[in-house]
Chain A
């Protein structure tokens, strides 16, 4: 609709999106088929996900077809730096929280996450991490009384 009708070109983003949707939904439908569809009066475990998977797969194909008509938004740009550091921040939190406790984990994942912004400075984000660790400790452990490990197990 937004696109100029005279400039019909392939929309790569939509093509990939459509293919991805079709692949994922087909996978769901295929696995669901294995759970048994059952009858209408006694639906099997696979009935509902199978039909939704099939519907999704069909709509994925429709999106692909639309991509060739040059509809939809423009190309998407992946923010690699941000994706990498934010993901790493989550991974470190998941890995560290039980062995080293809240304080160290929050500092590490804050410093790592902050790198997503190019302007981040190490000292600044370490300070932020310490502040956050203190804040989280007050809210979640002290006030709400949640059983989150605070310091490393060995201590």
Chain B
């Protein structure tokens, strides 16, 4: 029995050895995810990790450190050895962490080296099936009729799910109350069970539950309809100019050697151009958008500024 086990664990090492480049990576690389397993970010990390491990010739381990909108994980990675063996799968919340929380223990621009932009992930506004809402317009009508009466579930205080709600409230002139959960799974459960009438959840989680008629999808939070789900309206169709979609990217601790970053960024570029990975990401509600290290580093300060502004509005209203 033991021999079989050893043989199996050795498999990835053998297949990888063929393409392995000299030096980095010499041992498994860990991608730290700031959300609980089973959610959208976790799926992204595992799908990318699986493909990337073929490219790098090393196993990619996924480590979940959920809490405080992923900022706990970010601070953890920022404090690790800058050797390219611990990477952080960041998303928009990472950029606004310092605005939302008192002391996150990292700076989005100073503490990290950007590696690559991976994808954008539309969120979905979902409603429990018992709520009489069948379009974005009817949602706005219902909620604006009873200010302060309706709750919506989020994946935690200051997460993009929460910000999307706050931004929608501001732009559509609504007054709702956010209910933070610890991650996406419990948040969507509360909408399915009817404990909370609405919620902002990842599109991939929403579509799988909607298939079973456990909830209704009101709309997506990107500017226009998502190609793979043409039947789901964009909230922007009724609330002009509304857009609040998080994006996902990979970061390494500051001072990671340049050659290591380049190896990673290039390997991710190859992995992301893989059609199988592309389609499995699209199937799960992501819009894959690979942006290499240099270009992404150039536009990162702008992204931080834009989202921080949105977040500071939230900070005031809380």
Contacts and interface: CB of A to CB of B under 8 A. Distances in A.
A155 interface: no
Nearest to B318: A42
A49 to B, nearest CB: 17
Interface in A35-81: none
A8 to B, nearest CB: 50
A144 to B, nearest CB: 9
B299 to A, nearest CB: 35
B165 to A, nearest CB: 16
B27 A143 contact: no
B9 interface: yes
A70 B20 CA distance: 72
Contacts of A143: 2, 5-6
A142 B27 contact: no
Contacts of A34: none
A145 B9 contact: yes
B6 A147 contact: no
A147 B86 CA distance: 13
A145 B6 CA distance: 9
B292 interface: no
DSSP class of B's interface residues: helix, strand, loop or mixed? helix
B109 to A, nearest CB: 27
Interface string A135-155: 000000011010100000000
A64 B28 CA distance: 54
Nearest to B5: A143
Interface in B1-22: 2, 5-6, 9
A67 B6 CA distance: 59
Contact of A147 (B2, B5, B9, B27): B27
Nearest to B13: A145
Contacts of A145: 9
A145 B11 CA distance: 13
Contacts of A142: 6
A142 B3 CA distance: 11
A143 B1 CA distance: 11
Nearest to A144: B9
Contacts of B6: 142-143
B284 to A, nearest CB: 29
Contacts of B28: 147
A69 B147 CA distance: 59
Contacts of B9: 145
Nearest to A138: B2
Contacts of B5: 143
A135 B9 CA distance: 19
A96 to B, nearest CB: 19
Nearest to A45: B102
A39 to B, nearest CB: 13
Nearest to B30: A147
Contacts of B2: 143
Contacts of A147: 27-28
A105 to B, nearest CB: 20
Closest 7 CB pairs of A and B: A145-B9, A147-B27, A143-B5, A143-B2, A147-B28, A143-B6, A142-B6
Interface of B: 2, 5-6, 9, 27-28
Interface of A: 142-143, 145, 147
7 contacts: A142-B6, A143-B2, A143-B5, A143-B6, A145-B9, A147-B27, A147-B28
